C-alpha cells in the first residue's frame, strides 16, 4: 500500500505576518485552524480525508506557532488581528470565501470572522470552542469559573512559562495530552507539538493569546459585543471536555441565527478531531456536502 500524499508547505503573507501553511487537495478551500498548544498537525487526520472528498484542505500554523511569524508584543495577539490573519489567508489563496473549521483558539478566530465578515465565510464548523461572547458570559457562572482556572494562571508572565515547561513540559502534558482518551497522543505526536515550544519565545507567544484577549479585568466587565452568526454552522462538541461546561455550548448555540447543526459526542474529550478522527471526518464531510452554492 502506498503512503498517503504529503501536504505541500508554503509561507504565505497575510498582512503584517507570514504564516506557514500545509495544503492538500483541490477544490473549495477548507481552512483548519488549531488551538493551544498545537499546530497544523492537529489536523493530520482531516487533511487527507477532505482532499479525498474533493476539497482543498489548508492547515496553517497560526500566528506565534510553529514556523509562522512570532511577534513579540502581547497586543499583536488580539482577536481582531488573529481573525484578520484568517481573512488575509483566504485572499492570499486566491479566494473570496472559504469553509472555516476551528478548534479551541482556532474556533474563536472562526467565530469572530464569521460574525464580523460573514461574506468571507462559506460555512463554519466549530469543535469544542465557545463563542467569544458566550465564553465571557460563562466566566460569571461558578461551574465554568472552576474549569477556567488556567486562564488566570496563564496571565503571569514567566510564571506560567516555567510551570508549563518544567520537567520536560510535565504540567503541559498533564494539562493537555493526559486529558484525552488513552492513545490519542502517542509519544511521537506529543513531541511534534512540544518541539516548537522549546524555541525561545514560542511558549510566551502561545500564552499571549490568553493575555491579549482574556486579561484578569475582563472577568469583571461586560462581555464584548459581536453580531449574530448567520452563516451555516455545525458545532461538534466532545462532552467529556475537562475545561468546558455544557453552558458554553448552550450559550454558543444562542449566538447563531443562521442554519445550525449540533453534534454532541458523549465520552469524547476536548481533543475531538484527534481522539475520534473518523467520526469528525464523517460529520465534516457531511456538513460540507449538504451546502449549496
Q: Active-site positions?
A: 104, 210, 270
SS3 32: strand
Q: How far is CA 231 from the centre of its chain?
A: 18
Q: Cβ–Cβ contacts within 10 Å for residue 152, how many?
A: 15
DSSP bridge partners of 238? 265
Interacting residues of 3 by C-beta distance below 8 A, sequence separation 6+: none
Of the candidates 57, 64, 9, the one whose C-alpha atom is nearest the C-alpha of residue 31 is 57
Q: Cα–Cα distance between 100 and 106 in angstroms, integer?
A: 9
Q: Cα–Cα distance between 251 and 249 in angstroms, integer?
A: 6
Interacting residues of 94 by C-beta distance below 8 A, sequence separation 6+: none
Q: Cβ–Cβ contacts within 10 Å for residue 183, how many?
A: 7
Start-to-end Cα distance in the chain? 36
Measured in residues, the chain has a length of 293
Q: How far is CA 104 from the centre of its chain?
A: 4
Q: Cα–Cα distance between 181 and 164 in angstroms, integer?
A: 21
Q: Cα–Cα distance between 87 and 150 in angstroms, integer?
A: 29
Amino acid at each position: 500500500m502506498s503512503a498517503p500524499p504529503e501536504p505541500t508547505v508554503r509561507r504565505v503573507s497575510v498582512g503584517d505576518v507570514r504564516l506557514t501553511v500545509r495544503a492538500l487537495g483541490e477544490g473549495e478551500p477548507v481552512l483548519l485552524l488549531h488551538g493551544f498548544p498545537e499546530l497544523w498537525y492537529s489536523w493530520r487526520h482531516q487533511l487527507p480525508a477532505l482532499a479525498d472528498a474533493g476539497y482543498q484542505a489548508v492547515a496553517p500554523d497560526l500566528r506565534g506557532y510553529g514556523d509562522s511569524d512570532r511577534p513579540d508584543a502581547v497586543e499583536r495577539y488580539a482577536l481582531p488581528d488573529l481573525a484578520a490573519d484568517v481573512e488575509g489567508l483566504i485572499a492570499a489563496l486566491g479566494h473570496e470565501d472559504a469553509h472555516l473549521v476551528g478548534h479551541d483558539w482556532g474556533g474563536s478566530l472562526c467565530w469572530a470572522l464569521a460574525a464580523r465578515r460573514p461574506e468571507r465565510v462559506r460555512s463554519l464548523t466549530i469543535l469544542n470552542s465557545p463563542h467569544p461572547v458566550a465564553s465571557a458570559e460563562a466566566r460569571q457562572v461558578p461551574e465554568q469559573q472552576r474549569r477556567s482556572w488556567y486562564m488566570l494562571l496563564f496571565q503571569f508572565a514567566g510564571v506560567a512559562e516555567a510551570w508549563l515547561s518544567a520537567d520536560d513540559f510535565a504540567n503541559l502534558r498533564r494539562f493537555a495530552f493526559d486529558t484525552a482518551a488513552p492513545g490519542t497522543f502517542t509519544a511521537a505526536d506529543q513531541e511534534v507539538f512540544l518541539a516548537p515550544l522549546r524555541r525561545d519565545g514560542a511558549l510566551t507567544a502561545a500564552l499571549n493569546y490568553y493575555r491579549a484577549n482574556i486579561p484578569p479585568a475582563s472577568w469583571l466587565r461586560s462581555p464584548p459585543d459581536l453580531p449574530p452568526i448567520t452563516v451555516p454552522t455545525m458545532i461538534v462538541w466532545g462532552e467529556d471536555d475537562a475545561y468546558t461546561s455544557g453552558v458554553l455550548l448552550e450559550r454558543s448555540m444562542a449566538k447563531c441565527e443562521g442554519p445550525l447543526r449540533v453534534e454532541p459526542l458523549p465520552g469524547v474529550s476536548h481533543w475531538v478531531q484527534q481522539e475520534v478522527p473518523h467520526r469528525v471526518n464523517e460529520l465534516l464531510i457531511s456538513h460540507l456536502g449538504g451546502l449549496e452554492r
